[in-house]
Every structure is written in structure tokens, then in C-alpha cells.
């Protein structure tokens, strides 16, 4: 069997571009950037996150509203298993997510771990999600315990364009 360098490069480029799509998705959620969040989906995409299912536009509006109503979140990508077949691909993406809520006035951390079961398509050279179902493997809610951060005045992340990664306000 001969090695097909061109096919290998196409496969690697697809994996790179799908990973970039996944990163846009996560960053768009955490920084409350609906345009970036939406850029992870093709126009006809369908999403089922358990709390809602529907179009990409409906999902992004739902997720941005839910996440915008809480104090903060961080979504982390774990292992990613992809199968690429030409201009189509499927994948299983592990994730871990932290959400800062207030339950009865008490700062609470909701930790969720699960997987995204995805279908992707490359259209016009652009890899994006066309189908996504979120599966939750476990979740835990616990009172917040981050006084260390406040006591030591550590730089904190921000949202809606105020994060250092977006402002890059370096000290003079």
C-alpha cells in the first residue's frame, strides 16, 4: 500500500481546522462573544444540549443568555477523537466546564463533565459543526471556595470584551 502524502496533509489540515472550530466554540461561550460562538456552526446546524435543542442560532442565543446570567464559566476541551472522510467528519469531544452560580444568594460552583458527539462538514474550505449532541457524564455543585484569589489580588478573567486576552493592556 503506497503512502498518499496529499491525503495525509488533507486529513491533518481537517483535524487542525476542526480543532480550531472547537476552540472558537469554547472561547465564544466563556468570553460571551456570540459572533465567535456562532462561527463554530454551519447555518443549517442542529444542536441538542439537553436543556434545549434546535438551530445553531437558537442554541447560541440560549447559551449566551444562560451564561450571561451567571458570574463566570470556563469550558475546557479534553481528548478529541475524529474520523475524517473527505469533506465530512464525526467526532467525540470530552469537555469539563465550571460555572459560577448563585444559589439562594450563596456563590456556588457547578462542575460538569461530559462529551459532545459531533458531525462536521467542510463547505467552501470551512470546517464547522453540523450536528451536536451534548452528553453529561457527571456534575457536581459545591459552595465556592476561591477566597485565595481575592486575598491575593490575582488577575481575573473577564467577559464581554473586557478580558485581558482581548484588551492586551500591558503595563507601561
Cα radius of gyration rounded to whole Å, the chain: 18
Residue 22: the pLDDT is 98
CB 92: neighbour CB atoms within 10 A?
Answer: 14
Report d(CA 121, CA 46) in Å as an integer. 13
Residue 169: the pLDDT is 81
Residue 136: the pLDDT is 96
Convert the chain into a string of H (helix), E (strand) and C (coil).
CCCCHHHHHHHHHHHHHHHHHHHHHHHHHHCCCHHHHHCCEEEEEEEECCCCEEEHHHHHHHHHHHHHCCCEEEEEEEEEEEEEECCEEEEEEEEEEEEEEEECCEEEEEEEEEEEEEEEEEECCEEEEEEEEEEEEEEEEEECCCHHHHHCCCCCCCCCCCCHHHHCCCCC
Higher pLDDT, 108 or 1: 108
Residue 104: the pLDDT is 86
Domains of the chain, with CATH numbers? 5-155 (3.10.450.50)
The band of 1, judged by pLDDT with boundaries at 50, 70 and 90, is: low
Query: For residue 74, is pLDDT > 90?
Result: yes
Query: For residue 29, is pLDDT > 90?
Result: yes
pLDDT average, residue stretch 141-153: 78
pLDDT average, residue stretch 18-27: 98
pLDDT digits (tens, 9 = 90+) for 89-135: 999 999 999 999 988 888 999 999 999 999 999 999 999 999 999 99
Report d(CA 84, CA 82) in Å as an integer. 6
Amino acid at each position: 500500500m503506497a503512502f498518499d502524502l496529499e491525503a495525509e496533509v488533507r486529513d491533518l489540515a481537517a483535524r487542525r481546522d476542526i480543532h480550531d472550530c472547537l476552540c472558537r466554540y469554547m472561547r465564544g461561550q466563556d468570553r460571551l462573544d456570540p459572533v465567535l460562538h456562532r462561527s463554530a456552526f454551519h447555518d443549517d446546524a442542529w444542536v441538542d444540549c439537553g436543556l434545549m435543542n434546535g438551530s445553531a442560532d437558537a442554541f447560541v442565543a440560549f447559551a449566551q443568555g444562560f451564561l450571561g446570567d451567571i458570574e463566570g464559566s470556563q469550558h475546557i476541551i479534553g481528548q478529541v477523537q475524529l474520523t475524517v472522510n473527505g469533506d465530512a467528519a464525526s467526532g467525540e469531544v470530552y469537555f469539563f466546564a465550571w460555572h459560577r452560580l448563585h444559589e439562594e444568594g450563596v456563590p456556588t460552583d457547578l462542575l460538569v463533565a461530559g462529551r459532545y458527539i459531533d458531525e462536521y462538514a467542510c463547505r467552501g474550505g470551512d470546517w464547522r459543526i453540523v450536528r451536536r449532541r451534548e452528553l453529561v457524564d457527571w456534575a457536581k455543585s459545591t459552595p465556592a471556595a476561591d477566597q485565595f484569589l481575592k486575598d491575593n489580588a490575582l488577575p481575573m478573567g473577564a467577559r464581554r470584551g473586557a478580558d485581558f486576552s482581548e484588551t492586551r493592556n500591558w503595563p507601561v
